[in-house]
Structure 1
Amino acid sequence: MGRVPTVDEWVARLSARDAGARDEALEALEEALGSGEAESRERTARALIQELGRPGTTAISPILFLLQRGWWPPQASLTESAVQAVLSTLPRTEAGSADLEHAALVLTLVCRVDASQLSALEGAFAHPHPSVRSAMARVVGRLGKDALPALPRVLALLDDEESVAISALESLGSLAVLAPDVAAPRLLEQVRRTDGVRLYLALVSLRGLLEELLLEERAVPSLVDPEPALLRALEEPEPPIRQESVSLLGLLGPVSPVALAALRDRLRDESPSVAASAAVALLGLGAPSAEPLFLLKGQLGQAAPEVQEAALSALMSVDPARLRRAKGMLESVVGDTSGATRVTLDELLASLD
């Protein structure tokens, strides 16, 4: 029986040219990192962190993968060296890459057991390399209330280049319910100023924030003149953006006659999901119900599953109290449905009683 390699030897094999040797090393190190033996775990983590911080290492990807996957909880004695090692690798990672995501996760794990490391990361928010700034934004968004002191740094990154701004926007959405009076106006500003992915993320985050506040019966922040931005988004070519805008108009009501007319126009949207969301928004706003109810009834009676699903999803996504006007329509169609659709409609009707 051959000698079992040491931890340092396994770590060295992470850089081997032979894929089989690398895979074997990954398996052995993952097992050691998740071992119940504290000494083995710490020795393995220390060896990985030292190799990660070594200039010229070619094992960045597997080490970051191992640490974010199996290093919990991180040993307090290694948190500072882990932060320095990860920061040294970030400039070599690409925006949107798995390595960047894994690096952000490792930093998050470290900060969860050693909150002082978030302060140690302060300078990284202004690092010249965008991958470092992007990772910092992601870390803050995953730390909850402990990261609120760093929220101003995230807000500043909203004006950064696209990849960094997207990470900052995602984190702002994650923290929004903890600081709604700060987050809501900034999210609306993003709706006004951006398009594409950033516009969609801002709409999703703002809708999620308002829904959670309403569910928890908390005060909703006052937003200054949101309609023009949402009406602009209603004209975007991407259906998910139009759908989020429709849903937000329904949440923010009462709305102007112009907005009501725009919502009625969306009943004829080419996307079944946008049309269904517009119908639900109009019902919730107290608009005349005949047209939206007719549309939803037609969708629920469709043979095409995706059209039925669009109506069900829109109906299930809002507070039942806003849908009591749809009860009669739902009762009229439930007998003509079967399977999962029938079950969902029965549940929805039960919630309206």
Structure 2
Amino acid sequence: MPFLSASDARRVAQALEVLGEALCADDEVTREQAAGVLLGELAREGAVSQGPILQLLQLSWWPPPVKLAEPALGAVLTAVARLHAEAHEVDDAALLVANLYRAAPLPLRVLEESLGHERASVRKVAAGAVGRMGKGAVSLLPRLLPMLDDVEPVAGAALESLGALAPAAPEVALPALFDQVARAEGARQYLALTSLRSLLEEGRREDNPALDLTSLDVILSRLAEDTQVPIRLEAISLLGLGRLSSLTTVATLRRHLQDVSLDVATCAAVALLRVGAPPQEAASFLYRQLTSRDAPARTDAVLSVLEGLDGATLARMRDMLEAVAREVQGPVGDTVRTLLRHARR
């Protein structure tokens, strides 16, 4: 379709609209023909519509037919090599590549080679796709680890994929996540914290032994005092999820029961219960929040946290939950009674 290469943006938009409708047609031949036109333009030297085409294919082309998956992969990687690594279309390309691998038995070799491509945009796409492919890409995890020291857009994508694949290969992912928590900064450190916390929470739900986070004790205690609420939340959650029952840890958690952020204070109360500290102080804090009649939003926020807890932690606050269940009626009381049924002695 010549309009795709036109200098008139309006004509390009019209062509993309027509092709987008064809991608969703009932007729299989029509869908494949539309995809062929778009892929041909993606790979064409001098093409100017890579971004809109990548976005259109990512949003509207599912499932890609197996016979087009390999040429599509080549066209996407060719197009991405012409883009800047910071371009938002690169994220669309990573999603599209993951879709192609989910739809067809494409060789992982192509993705592995792309992880070492000279262009940062291609490396970012490959790194981002790995985590979106699930267990089928776990074998690429060791190849992904050195990319944590790549330029920022690539390193960020690699870290996201590391977090996504961590539950499938914790023995490989955990040392890298520990390292990132210890030495990364800003958004990357936050991402490492959230990835590590998700992994530990999943392990707790499955009754796996708590991981020893002693090597991170000092760092987590420092991050618990960060000025940013999200960082404090993640650090305090990890202090509660690891085998960190030191006096310093307990003192840090107790202090944050008075945090200006209710979310952080609630997290500190849960963490105190998880590390095995005497439950009275944390339970009293939670009791006050759940029986407050002046701030329903506060009560809802605390309930939301409690609903995500495992039975063992709920059991440590059983007496408090029973007291709330006796005193509070309505939706709050009903939710607390449901929590009691999940509490494990």
Report the TM-score when normalising by structure 1.
Answer: 0.88
Counterpart for residue 234 of structure 2: 244
The alignment status of 1:268 with 2:248, answered yes or no, reads: no
Counterpart for residue 38 of structure 1: 28
| Distance change (3 Å), C-alpha of 1:267 and 1:199 | same
Pairing partner for 2:183 from 178, 183, 193: 193
Greater shift, 293-302 or 160-169, is seen at 293-302
| Distance change (3 Å), C-alpha of 1:222 and 1:289 | closer
| Distance change (3 Å), C-alpha of 1:313 and 1:196 | farther
**Would you say the 8 A contact 1:96–1:163 is kept in 2?**
yes
Counterpart for residue 167 of structure 2: 177
Task: Supply the AA of the counterpart residue of 2:46.
Answer: G
Could you give the per-residue CA deviations for residues 37-93 of structure 1, whole angstroms, max 9, x where no partner exists? Answer: 222222111111001111222222221122112222223332332222212222444
SS in 2 for 1:116: coil
Pairing partner for 1:323 from 297, 308, 314: 314
Pairing partner for 1:83 from 73, 94, 113: 73
Greater shift, 63-72 or 168-177, is seen at 63-72
| Distance change (3 Å), C-alpha of 1:91 and 1:264 | same
Computed over aligned residues only, the root mean square deviation of the Cα atoms, in angstroms, reads 2.4
**1:266 positional shift:** 1.2
**1:334 positional shift:** 4.1
Pairing partner for 1:351 from 308, 333, 342: 342
| Aligned equivalents of 2:86, 2:149: Cα separation in 1 | 18
Which ranges in structure 2 are unaligned for 5 or more consecutive residues?
A: none
Task: Supply the AA of the counterpart residue of 1:47.
Answer: V
The alignment status of 1:304 with 2:280, answered yes or no, reads: no
The alignment status of 1:225 with 2:215, answered yes or no, reads: yes
| Distance change (3 Å), C-alpha of 1:224 and 1:256 | closer
| Aligned equivalents of 1:236, 1:85: Cα separation in 2 | 45
**Would you say the 8 A contact 1:90–1:131 is kept in 2?**
yes
| Aligned equivalents of 1:254, 1:234: Cα separation in 2 | 14
**Would you say the 8 A contact 1:79–1:117 is kept in 2?**
no
Task: Supply the AA of the counterpart residue of 1:17.
Answer: D
Q: How does 1:21-60 map to 2 (within 5 A)?
A: 21-60=11-50
SS in 1 for 2:8: coil
Pairing partner for 2:194 from 183, 189, 204: 204
> Identical aligned pairs, as a percentage?
42
Task: Supply the AA of the counterpart residue of 2:321.
Answer: L
**1:344 positional shift:** 2.8
| Aligned equivalents of 2:51, 2:331: Cα separation in 1 | 43
Counterpart for residue 119 of structure 1: 109
SS in 2 for 1:177: helix
**Would you say the 8 A contact 2:70–2:106 is kept in 1?**
no
The alignment status of 1:235 with 2:225, answered yes or no, reads: yes
Counterpart for residue 4 of structure 1: none
| Aligned equivalents of 2:5, 2:95: Cα separation in 1 | 20
Pairing partner for 2:304 from 309, 313, 332: 313
| Aligned equivalents of 1:207, 1:306: Cα separation in 2 | 25
SS in 1 for 2:192: helix
Greater shift, 77-86 or 143-152, is seen at 77-86
| Aligned equivalents of 1:341, 1:27: Cα separation in 2 | 49
**Would you say the 8 A contact 1:15–1:59 is kept in 2?**
no
Task: Supply the AA of the counterpart residue of 1:158.
Answer: L
The alignment status of 1:159 with 2:136, answered yes or no, reads: no
**1:170 positional shift:** 0.9
| Distance change (3 Å), C-alpha of 1:265 and 1:341 | same
SS in 1 for 2:55: helix
The alignment status of 1:73 with 2:57, answered yes or no, reads: no
| Aligned equivalents of 2:215, 2:33: Cα separation in 1 | 58
SS in 1 for 2:51: helix
Task: Supply the AA of the counterpart residue of 1:351.
Answer: H
The alignment status of 1:104 with 2:94, answered yes or no, reads: yes
**1:335 positional shift:** 5.5
Greater shift, 84-93 or 261-270, is seen at 84-93
Task: Supply the AA of the counterpart residue of 1:348.
Answer: L
**1:115 positional shift:** 3.6
